[in-house]
C-alpha cells in the first residue's frame, strides 16, 4: 500500500510540475486560474508530494525531483528576485534618508487602496511626505477636501472620480478619459515648480475572481473572462493615456488585481518599467496587508524617470500594503550637471 501511495504521489507531482512550467511560460487567459497563484505555492504542493513519495518508496533518487521543484520556486518566484537585492527595505519616511541625491530633486509617488473609502488610509500615505498619491477605492470628494483643508498647503491639488483619485504637490490638469473608465481611472498632467511636466494615471482594474473550485470548468471560464476584461481595460486606458502624454515622462499605477507574472502586462511597451520589480527589496507582496502572498499593486514609469528606491509598506487601515516609490527626473539630472 505504501509503495502504491509513493508512486501515485510521484506521478501527480511530475504531472503537476510539467503543467505549472507550461502554464507560467505560456501564460494565457485560459490558464489565469493557475498563474494567479504565486509559483512558490505550486512548488510547495509539489514538494509535499515528493516528501510523501520519498517516505513511502525510500529512494534517494527522488531527491532529484525535490531539487527540480526547489529550482522552479527559486527561479520563478517574484519574491526571490527582490530578496536577492536585499532582505530589508531601505526606503524611509524622509526622502533625505532614502538616497544621497538632494531630496528636493526626488519625486515620491505612493499608491494605496483605501479599503472602502477610508480617510485614515489616505493619511497613512500622506505620512510618507509624497509628491504624488494614487488612491483606489478613494474617499468621497467631501472627505478629500477636508483633508486638503487640514494640510493648509496651497501647492497640493486633487483630481479624481468615484473610485480613483490623484493627490499631488503641483498643478494638476485633469484628463477626461472615456466614460467607461469613470470608475476605473483618474488622469492628470502634473506641472512641477520648475516647469517640468509628468503624465499621471491612477488605475483600479476589475477585481479578480475569488472562486477556487479548480475541478469545475465554469471556474476556469470565469477566471479566463476576468483576465481578458482586465487586459482590455488596461489596453484601452493606456492607448488614451499615451495620447495625452505625448513625449513627456509618464507614471501610472494602482490596484491591477493581477500579479506581475500575469499576461496582463505582456503587451506593455518596453519603455515602461515596473518600479518594485526593478528596484524593490524584501517582500513586495501587497495583498493581503497582514498576510501578503501576492503583488497586485504596481507602479510603472517611462524611461525619462530613474527609479531610486521602492518599498511595500504595511498599513493599518487598508487590506492592501501601500507602494512607496522615489523617482528622479533625468531632465533634472542634466540641469544639475550643466
Looking at the structure, do residues 257 and 163 belong to the same domain, yes or no? yes
128 in Cβ contact with 110 (< 8 Å):
yes
pLDDT per residue over 242-288, tens digit each? Answer: 999 989 999 999 999 999 988 899 889 889 999 999 999 999 999 99
> Which residues in the chain belong to E strands, given as ranges?
106-113, 132-136, 156-160, 164-169, 171-175, 185-191, 197-204, 250-255, 273-274, 297-301, 305-313, 322-329
Helix (H/G/I), strand (E/B), else coil: 245: helix
Give pLDDT, residue 335: 40
Is 85 a domain residue? no
Q: Is 27 left (phi over 0), alpha (psi -120 to 50) or beta?
A: left
Q: What is the largest CA-CA distance in the chain?
A: 78
Q: What is the pLDDT of residues 40-52, one digit of tens each?
A: 999 999 999 999 9
Give, as one character, the DSSP assignment of residue 290: S
> Does some domain include residue 82?
no
Report, as ranges of residue numbers, the positions in the chain whose pLDDT lies below 70: 96-104, 331-338
Beta bridge partners of 329: 305
Asked whether residue 173 falls in the same domain as residue 318, the answer is: yes
Degrees, nearest 5: CA angle 298-42-314: 35
d(CA 307, CA 251): 11
Q: Which of 48, 76, 104 lies at the terminal end of a domain, its last residue?
A: 76
The answer to whether position 113 is within a domain reads yes
Q: CA angle 302-308-313, nearest 5°?
A: 100
Query: Residue 88 domain-assigned?
Result: no
Residues 249 and 141 in one domain: yes
Residue 332 within a domain: yes
User: Domain of 103: which CATH number?
Assistant: 3.60.10.10
Residue 316 lies in a domain: yes
Q: Domain check: are 124 and 233 in the same one? A: yes
Report d(CA 133, CA 126) in Å as an integer.
Answer: 8
3-state secondary structure of 29: helix
**Cβ neighbours of residue 266 closer than 8 Å, sequence gap 6 or more:** 27
* 249 and 149 co-located in one domain: yes
Distance between CA 169 and CA 190 in Å, rounded?
8
* Residues spanned by the domain of 203: 95-337
* Buried b / exposed e along 260-279 (16+ C-beta atoms within 10 A): bbbbbbeeeeeeebbbbbeb
Domain count, the chain: 2
β-bridge partners, 309: 326
Domain identity same for 31 and 128: no
- The answer to whether 185 and 177 have CB atoms below 8 angstroms apart is yes
Q: What SS3 state is found at 69?
A: helix
One domain for residues 155 and 22? no
84 in a structural domain: no
Domain membership flag for residue 258: yes
In this prediction the pTM is: 0.92
- Whether the CB-CB separation of 189 and 173 falls below 8 Å is answered with yes
Q: For residues 293 and 78, is the Cβ–Cβ distance under 8 A?
A: no
Amino acid at each position: 500500500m505504501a509503495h502504491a501511495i509513493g508512486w501515485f504521489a510521484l506521478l501527480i507531482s511530475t504531472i503537476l510540475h510539467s503543467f505549472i512550467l507550461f502554464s507560467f511560460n505560456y501564460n494565457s487567459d485560459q490558464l489565469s486560474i493557475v498563474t494567479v497563484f504565486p509559483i512558490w505555492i505550486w512548488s510547495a504542493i509539489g514538494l509535499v508530494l515528493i516528501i510523501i513519495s520519498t517516505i513511502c518508496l525510500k529512494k534517494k533518487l527522488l531527491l532529484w525531483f525535490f531539487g527540480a521543484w526547489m529550482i522552479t520556486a527559486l527561479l520563478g518566484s517574484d519574491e526571490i528576485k527582490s530578496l536577492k537585492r536585499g532582505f530589508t527595505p531601505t526606503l524611509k519616511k524622509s526622502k533625505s534618508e532614502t538616497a544621497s541625491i538632494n531630496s528636493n530633486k526626488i519625486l515620491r509617488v505612493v499608491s494605496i487602496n483605501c479599503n472602502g473609502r477610508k480617510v485614515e488610509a489616505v493619511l497613512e500615505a500622506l505620512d510618507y511626505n509624497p509628491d504624488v498619491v494614487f488612491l483606489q477605492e478613494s474617499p468621497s470628494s467631501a472627505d478629500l477636501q477636508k483633508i486638503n483643508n487640514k494640510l493648509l498647503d496651497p501647492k497640493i491639488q486633487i483630481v479624481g472620480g468615484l473610485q480613483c483619485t490623484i493627490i499631488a504637490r503641483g498643478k494638476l490638469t485633469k484628463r477626461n478619459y472615456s466614460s467607461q473608465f469613470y470608475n476605473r481611472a483618474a488622469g492628470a498632467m502634473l506641472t512641477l515648480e520648475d516647469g517640468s511636466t509628468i503624465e499621471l494615471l491612477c488605475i483600479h482594474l476589475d477585481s479578480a475572481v475569488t472562486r477556487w473550485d479548480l475541478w469545475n470548468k465554469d471556474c476556469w471560464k470565469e477566471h479566463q473572462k476576468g483576465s481578458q476584461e482586465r487586459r482590455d481595460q488596461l489596453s484601452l486606458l493606456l492607448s488614451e493615456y499615451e495620447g495625452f502624454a505625448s513625449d513627456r515622462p509618464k507614471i501610472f499605477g494602482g490596484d491591477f488585481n493581477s500579479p506581475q507574472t500575469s499576461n496582463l502586462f505582456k503587451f506593455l511597451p518596453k519603455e515602461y518599467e515596473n518600479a518594485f520589480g526593478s528596484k524593490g527589496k524584501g517582500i513586495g507582496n501587497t495583498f493581503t496587508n497582514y498576510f501578503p502572498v501576492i503583488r497586485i499593486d504596481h507602479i510603472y514609469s517611462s524611461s525619462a524617470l530613474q527609479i531610486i528606491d521602492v518599498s511595500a509598506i504595511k498599513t493599518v487601515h487598508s487590506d492592501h500594503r501601500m507602494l512607496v516609490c522615489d523617482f528622479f527626473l533625468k531632465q533634472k539630472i542634466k540641469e544639475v550637471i550643466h
